[in-house]
Amino acid sequence: SAVISQKPSRDICQRGTSLTIQCQVDSQVTMMFWYRQQPGQSLTLIATANQGSEATYESGFVIDKFPISRPNLTFSTLTVSNMSPEDSSIYLCSPRAGSGAQYFGPGTRLLVL
Partner 1 sequence: GQQLNQSPQSMFIQEGEDVSMNCTSSSIFNTWLWYKQDPGEGPVLLIALYKAGELTSNGRLTAQFGITRKDSFLNISASIPSDVGIYFCAGSAGAGSYQLTFGKGTKLSVIP
Would you tell me which residues interact with partner 1 (CB under 8 A)?
A: 1, 4, 31, 33, 41-45, 48, 58, 90, 92, 94, 96, 99-107, 109
Cβ of residue 13: shortest distance to partner 1, in angstroms? 19
Q: What single-letter amino acid sits at 39?
A: P
Q: How far is the CB of 18 from partner 1 (least distance, A)?
A: 23
Q: Would you tell me how many other CB atoms lie within 10 Å of the CB of residue 52? A: 9
Contact between 67 and 87 under an 8 Å Cβ cutoff? The reply is no
Three-state DSSP state, 100: coil
Considering the complex, what minimum distance in angstroms separates the CB of residue 16 from partner 1? Answer: 27
